[in-house]
Amino acid sequence: MNYFRTTGLRTTALVAAALTTSILTTPIMGMVSDRPSHPSEIVFDELNFTPPMASEFRHELSNGVPVFIAESNEFPLVTIRFSFKGGEYMVPAEKAGLSSLAGGLIRSGGSASMSPEELDEEFDFLAANVGSSMGDTTSGASINCLTSNLDEAFGLFMEMVQNPRFDEDRLEIRRDQILKAFESRNDAGVQIAIRELGFLMWGDDHFEGRQPTKESIESITVEDMKALHAKVFHPGNLMIAVTGDVETSEILAFLEEAISGWEIGEISPDIPKPTQSYAPGVYYYEKEQPQVQVLIAHRGIERDDPDAIDVEVMNQILGGSGFTSRITNTVRTQEGLAYTAGSVYSNRVEYPGVFMSYFFTKTPTTALATRLVFGEIDKIQKEEATTEEIEIIQNSLIETFPRNFESKRAMMGLFMSDERTGRPADYWQTYRDKVRAVTASDVQQAALNHLHPDQAVIMVVGPVEEIQKGNADSEADPERVATMAEFFDGQFTLIPERDPETLKPVDSE
């Protein structure tokens, strides 16, 4: 046995014990006197955060493509993201679902010179994480790899982005997966409610409302995907974001060379506005289930509306802030009618978005919960919010504000989105001051101007006859008795059951 080792261990243990005893028994000067008596008395240093300007990170290639670069040397990795203007809104109605199918196959369907299996193997060998997608309004592709492998990995990435193969076998596999998923489209009441509300609010001729069907998915060909890809994936629609272990001047030169010679096509058209004029009222979709899904919605505002921040604060108080919001507190906490209840004000850039309140409840209490939601809308229009309510939301929005910039990847994506949608350059610099400036009068005025219960669609999924009865047959307090006859004079529209694959009314097939 090593004497010095054993003695050393024992000595160390004795010293540690002595220090521990000393720490536990000797008061540290000021520790007790400075300790607050209650957590509410804790004072935190003010969080000082200055949001960065997009111009600090923005560069431009010789062909006009914007490039946003944020250097980060913590790891020997680099991420390059391509974002293109264009997506499902450019797809004809009879090809609904084309963008999603094509977007995934850009990555999984191989390239002009490589089969899907070969391309997968090469990316795996290089430890490169590569993806692609096409959404409603924008599309993209990204690569994350070791800085040391960038030359080789990015060369494969560029071939994939510029010349995807859209392999027939991979197309059929993905097509079968989608068609199989269609079979269960009527299983979840929430999915039905969202789908039917989309038809009502946007129409089935607008990309926001329409849904892919068995017929549209089966009609999609490789040629369709190639044609859509050619319209969207070119430098005229492109923005680039780079984060990671790079040097700005070097990566700009690298991208300049890599993209040179890539032909600029016709820029994608503007996003179309919906033409659907929806009819307010109660709409039912018959479904035997123990829980009823209710969505209450009407047309909202555009993202850059002058009242947008007032509306944001108002909606957070009404139903958007979880347990601190009025709808959640009334419908869930006080009345115990729903586990999920709240509201969202979802804006769009090019046209007004949607205000929507939602809750899921038992069949007999559907009418009562609906009454309570409309009651909260009426209250926030007639009475000013309290100072405490407003301060809670203001503090929440301001204190969580830095999360928009918590990662360089997210920050570059934000800057690309802002430039593409024309958001004012100083928006983030002035956002918190505008939130702080919202008053009780502003909140009430926003509610009066932008909440329209008389123009709402009440979308209900569940057993219709039982829902309409409400809780009239129960022994509830007479003031709590409610039936669906209270809304829109008892008038309603019954939406016919739809075939999950074709989405046509079952009775018409």
DSSP 49-71: --PPPGGGTEEE-TTS-EEEEEE
**Banded pLDDT at 40 (limits 50, 70, 90):** confident
pLDDT > 90 in the chain, percent: 87
The more confidently predicted of residues 508 and 476 is 476
Nearest partner of 295 among 182, 184, 212, 200, judged by Cα: 200
- Examine the pLDDT at 8 and tell me if it is beyond 80: no
Tens digits of residue pLDDT in 76-130:
999 999 999 999 999 999 999 999 999 999 999 999 999 999 999 999 999 999 9
**Banded pLDDT at 42 (limits 50, 70, 90):** confident
Q: How far apart are CA 346 and CA 348, in angstroms?
A: 7
- Examine the pLDDT at 263 and tell me if it is beyond 60: yes
On whether the CB atoms of residues 298 and 450 are closer than 8 A, the answer is no
Amino acid at 499: D
Average pLDDT over residues 347-371: 97
* Mean residue pLDDT across the chain: 92
- Examine the pLDDT at 455 and tell me if it is beyond 90: yes
Amino acid at 432: R
Provide, for the chain, the percentages of residues in helix, strand and coil under a 3-state DSSP scheme, each rounded to the nearest 5: 50, 15, 30
Work out whether strand 492-495 and strand 281-286 pair parallel, antiparallel, or are unpaired.
Answer: parallel
Nearest partner of 461 among 185, 184, 193, judged by Cα: 193
pLDDT of residue 21: 42
pLDDT of residue 147: 97
Encoded tokens for 18: 């002595």
* Cβ-count burial 268-303 (b if 16+ within 10 Å, e if not): beebeebeeebebbbbbbebeeebbbbbbbbbbbeb
On whether the CB atoms of residues 168 and 185 are closer than 8 A, the answer is no
Q: How far apart are CA 387 and CA 395, in angstroms?
A: 12
- Examine the pLDDT at 394 and tell me if it is beyond 90: yes
Q: How far apart are CA 106 and CA 465, in angstroms?
A: 48
Three-class secondary structure of residue 206 per DSSP:
coil
Q: What are the backbone angles phi and psi of residue 338, rounded to the nearest 5°? A: -155, 145
Q: How far apart are CA 409 and CA 70, in angstroms?
A: 8
Q: How far apart are CA 61 and CA 256, in angstroms?
A: 6
- Examine the pLDDT at 286 and tell me if it is beyond 90: yes
Encoded tokens for 454: 């008389």
Nearest partner of 329 among 290, 283, 380, 292, judged by Cα: 380
pTM of the complete model: 0.88
**Banded pLDDT at 509 (limits 50, 70, 90):** low
Q: How far apart are CA 446 and CA 4, in angstroms?
A: 78
Locate tokens 């800085």: which residue?
147
* Cβ-count burial 135-151 (b if 16+ within 10 Å, e if not): eebbbbbbbbbbeebbe
pLDDT of residue 508: 58
Average pLDDT over residues 210-229: 98
**Largest Cα–Cα distance of the chain, in whole Å?**
94
> How far is residue 129 CA from its own chain's centroid?
23
Helix (H) or strand (E) holding 224: helix 222-232
pLDDT of residue 33: 56
Nearest partner of 482 among 383, 378, 361, 379, judged by Cα: 361
- Examine the pLDDT at 41 and tell me if it is beyond 50: yes
Mean pLDDT lowest among 16-20, 179-183, 225-229, 427-431: 16-20
**Banded pLDDT at 507 (limits 50, 70, 90):** confident
Burial of 105 (0-12, 13-18, 19+ CB in 10 A): buried
Tens digits of residue pLDDT in 426-454:
999 999 999 999 999 999 999 999 999 99
Encoded tokens for 82: 């391509």
Domains of the chain: 54-259 (3.30.830.10), 281-508 (3.30.830.10)
- Examine the pLDDT at 28 and tell me if it is beyond 70: no
Q: How far apart are CA 299 and CA 347, in angstroms?
A: 9
Q: How far apart are CA 487 and CA 281, in angstroms?
A: 8
Three-class secondary structure of residue 18 per DSSP:
helix
**Banded pLDDT at 30 (limits 50, 70, 90):** very low
Nearest partner of 460 among 209, 346, 276, 291, judged by Cα: 291
- Examine the pLDDT at 2 and tell me if it is beyond 60: no
Encoded tokens for 148: 């040391």
